[in-house]
Protein backbone atom coordinates (compact mmCIF):
# COMPACT_ATOMS: atom_id res chain seq x y z
CA UNK A 1 0.00 0.00 0.00
CA UNK A 2 1.32 3.41 -0.92
CA UNK A 3 2.19 6.03 1.68
CA UNK A 4 -1.09 7.90 1.86
CA UNK A 5 -2.75 9.26 4.95
CA UNK A 6 -6.16 7.65 4.91
CA UNK A 7 -8.94 9.60 6.61
CA UNK A 8 -11.20 7.39 8.74
CA UNK A 9 -14.86 7.93 7.89
CA UNK A 10 -18.16 6.45 8.99
CA UNK A 11 -19.84 3.99 6.63
CA UNK A 12 -22.89 6.26 6.45
CA UNK A 13 -20.78 9.00 4.81
CA UNK A 14 -19.80 6.86 1.81
CA UNK A 15 -23.06 7.51 -0.06
CA UNK A 16 -22.13 11.22 -0.09
CA UNK A 17 -18.75 10.58 -1.76
CA UNK A 18 -18.02 10.92 -5.47
CA UNK A 19 -16.31 8.28 -7.61
CA UNK A 20 -16.48 9.96 -11.05
CA UNK A 21 -12.84 10.94 -11.76
CA UNK A 22 -10.52 8.58 -13.59
CA UNK A 23 -7.85 7.35 -11.16
CA UNK A 24 -5.06 4.86 -11.56
CA UNK A 25 -4.34 3.22 -8.24
CA UNK A 26 -1.91 0.51 -7.22
CA UNK A 27 -3.94 -2.53 -6.23
CA UNK A 28 -2.83 -5.95 -5.09
CA UNK A 29 -3.50 -8.44 -7.86
CA UNK A 30 -5.45 -10.56 -5.37
CA UNK A 31 -7.69 -7.70 -4.12
CA UNK A 32 -10.83 -9.35 -5.52
CA UNK A 33 -10.07 -12.64 -3.72
CA UNK A 34 -9.37 -10.78 -0.49
CA UNK A 35 -12.67 -8.89 -0.78
CA UNK A 36 -14.54 -12.15 -1.41
CA UNK A 37 -12.92 -13.70 1.67
CA UNK A 38 -13.83 -10.61 3.73
CA UNK A 39 -17.42 -10.93 2.47
CA UNK A 40 -17.54 -14.56 3.59
CA UNK A 41 -16.12 -13.67 7.02
CA UNK A 42 -18.63 -10.85 7.35
CA UNK A 43 -21.61 -12.99 6.44
CA UNK A 44 -20.68 -15.98 8.57
CA UNK A 45 -18.87 -14.44 11.55
CA UNK A 46 -19.98 -10.78 11.29
CA UNK A 47 -16.28 -9.90 11.11
CA UNK A 48 -15.39 -6.30 10.34
CA UNK A 49 -12.60 -5.27 8.01
CA UNK A 50 -10.88 -1.99 7.29
CA UNK A 51 -11.28 -0.98 3.65
CA UNK A 52 -8.75 1.48 2.21
CA UNK A 53 -10.06 3.33 -0.82
CA UNK A 54 -9.95 6.60 -2.78
CA UNK A 55 -12.89 8.80 -3.63
CA UNK A 56 -12.53 11.84 -5.92
CA UNK A 57 -11.25 13.93 -2.99
CA UNK A 58 -8.54 11.57 -1.72
CA UNK A 59 -7.74 8.50 0.40
CA UNK A 60 -10.31 7.23 2.92
CA UNK A 61 -10.75 4.19 5.12
CA UNK A 62 -13.79 2.66 6.76
CA UNK A 63 -14.24 -0.14 9.28
CA UNK A 64 -17.28 -2.20 8.37
CA UNK A 65 -18.68 -5.54 7.26
CA UNK A 66 -18.82 -6.36 3.54
CA UNK A 67 -22.17 -7.90 2.60
CA UNK A 68 -21.49 -8.69 -1.05
CA UNK A 69 -18.68 -8.55 -3.60
CA UNK A 70 -19.70 -8.15 -7.23
CA UNK A 71 -17.67 -7.80 -10.40
CA UNK A 72 -17.20 -4.02 -10.10
CA UNK A 73 -18.49 -3.02 -6.64
CA UNK A 74 -18.67 -4.16 -3.04
CA UNK A 75 -21.87 -3.68 -1.07
CA UNK A 76 -21.89 -2.70 2.59
CA UNK A 77 -24.83 -2.77 5.01
CA UNK A 78 -27.55 -0.30 4.08
CA UNK A 79 -26.99 -0.53 0.33
CA UNK A 80 -23.73 1.45 0.36
CA UNK A 81 -21.48 0.68 -2.63
CA UNK A 82 -17.75 1.21 -3.24
CA UNK A 83 -16.17 0.61 -6.67
CA UNK A 84 -13.58 -2.17 -6.47
CA UNK A 85 -11.35 -0.13 -8.80
CA UNK A 86 -11.01 2.45 -5.99
CA UNK A 87 -10.04 -0.03 -3.24
CA UNK A 88 -6.33 -0.26 -2.51
CA UNK A 89 -6.35 -2.64 0.46
CA UNK A 90 -8.53 -4.58 2.86
CA UNK A 91 -7.30 -5.56 6.30
CA UNK A 92 -8.96 -8.13 8.50
CA UNK A 93 -9.66 -6.88 12.01
CA UNK A 94 -9.14 -9.19 14.96
Task: Report the domain count for the chain.
Answer: 1
**Given this model, what pLDDT does residue 24 score?**
86
CATH code for the domain in which residue 82 is found: 2.30.30
Q: Which domain holds residue 91?
A: 1-18+46-94
Determine, yes or no, domain membership for 28.
no
Q: Which of 87, 84, 89, 81 is nearest to 11 (CA)?
A: 81
List per-residue pLDDT tens for the chain, 94 residues long.
567 899 999 999 999 999 999 888 888 889 999 999 999 988 888 889 999 999 999 999 999 999 999 999 999 988 899 999 999 999 988 6
In a domain, 74, yes or no: yes
Full-model pTM: 0.92
Question: Distance between CA 32 and CA 39 in Å, rounded?
Answer: 10
Amino acid sequence: MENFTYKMIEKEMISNLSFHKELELDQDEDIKQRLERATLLGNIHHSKVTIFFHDDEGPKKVETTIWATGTKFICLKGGVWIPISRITDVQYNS
